[in-house]
Amino acid sequence: MAFQIPKAVTPQALVEQLKQGKPLNLLDVRESVEWAEGHVEGAKHIPLSQLMERREELEPAQEIIIMCRSGNRSGLACELLHEKGYKVVNMTGGLNAWTSKLVRDVPSNN
């Protein structure tokens, strides 16, 4: 039987929640290069490859909205964290379906 993620949100619905000023816990599980190319303002970045060893950085009792490029890695992250008792929400469609502005990291001159 395939794993069923208990809760999901579309990028459009998430944008609306952010516009309303709703406090959200956002987690981006893409790799560092993808993160630097653009991410949602206020999101925490933990690449999927580091998630299990860094999960203590997350609060299990608070709902965490997890995002990636297409929704596949975030789905896996939801599964991994849900098994450990975290409250998770998968952003379906990922940042490929994101229609709002993204923050881009500016390279330093150092």
Q: State the amino acid at position 43 in one-letter form.
A: A
Q: Which residues are catalytic?
A: 68
Q: Which two tokens stand for residue 3?
A: 């794993």
For residues 95 and 15, the answer to whether their CB atoms sit within 8 Å is: no
Query: Cα separation of 18 and 84, whole Å?
Result: 27
User: Distance (Å, rounded) from C-alpha 53 to C-alpha 51?
Assistant: 6
69 vs 50: CA distance, rounded Å: 17
Burial class (CB in 10 A: 0-12, 13-18, 19+), 40: buried
